[in-house]
Amino acid sequence: MKTLTKELWVDIPKRRQIVSIHRDVEQLVAESRVRDGIILVNAMHITASVFINDNESGLHEDYEKRLEKLAPHEPISQYRHNLTGEDNGDAHLKRQIMGREVVVAVSGGKLDFGPWEQIFYGEFDGMRRKRVLVKIIGE
């Protein structure tokens, strides 16, 4: 069994931001020399999501807008979590809706994807560098 474990760093200058990590993950699959196996890609932060969807900026705005309806940032007093001094109660909820991680098949040494699948990191409480964990196992 071959394995590879790597952390990716992602710059998140804004509070909420969706950033492609697709090429970085593809490079790690190549580096791992795993031909047949699976890859786990997860946010290491609990206000963030790794997800797979379309590389289309309008859609990313739709995610932002809809998540803000489902779990609004303001008023921050609506979240008990914010009594701890945080203002990111909404971000912990948004992350649950979008998911923490993805697991993807590796076949023939590549991400085994449908035609439009792309991997993104979505952060809902950013304004600093964040980490993504990549683990590949296979042979």
Residues found near its own copies in the complex (CB under 8 A)? 1, 3, 5, 36-38, 40, 42-46, 51-54, 56, 58-59, 61-63, 66, 70-71, 79-84, 89, 92-93, 95-105, 107, 112-114, 116-117, 131, 133, 135, 137-139
- Give me the half-sphere count of Cα atoms (radius 13 Å) on the Cβ side of residue 139: 1
Radius of gyration of the chain (CA): 16
In the bound complex, what is the minimum distance in angstroms from residue 99's beta carbon to its own copies?
A: 6
In the bound complex, what is the minimum distance in angstroms from residue 98's beta carbon to its own copies?
A: 6
Between 19 and 99, whose beta carbon lies closer to its own copies? 99
Residue type, 58: G
Q: In angstroms, how far is CA 84 from the centroid of its own chain?
A: 25
Residue type, 7: E
Between 105 and 127, whose beta carbon lies closer to its own copies? 105
In the bound complex, what is the minimum distance in angstroms from residue 77's beta carbon to its own copies?
A: 12
Between 15 and 81, whose beta carbon lies closer to its own copies? 81
Which stretches within the chain are classed as H helix? 22-32, 57-70, 89-98
Which two three-digit tokens encode residue 16?
Answer: 């909420």
User: Under a CB-based contact definition with an 8 Å cutoff, are residues 101 and 50 in contact?
Assistant: yes
In the bound complex, what is the minimum distance in angstroms from residue 49's beta carbon to its own copies?
A: 9
Between 13 and 65, whose beta carbon lies closer to its own copies? 65
3-class DSSP state for residue 69?
helix
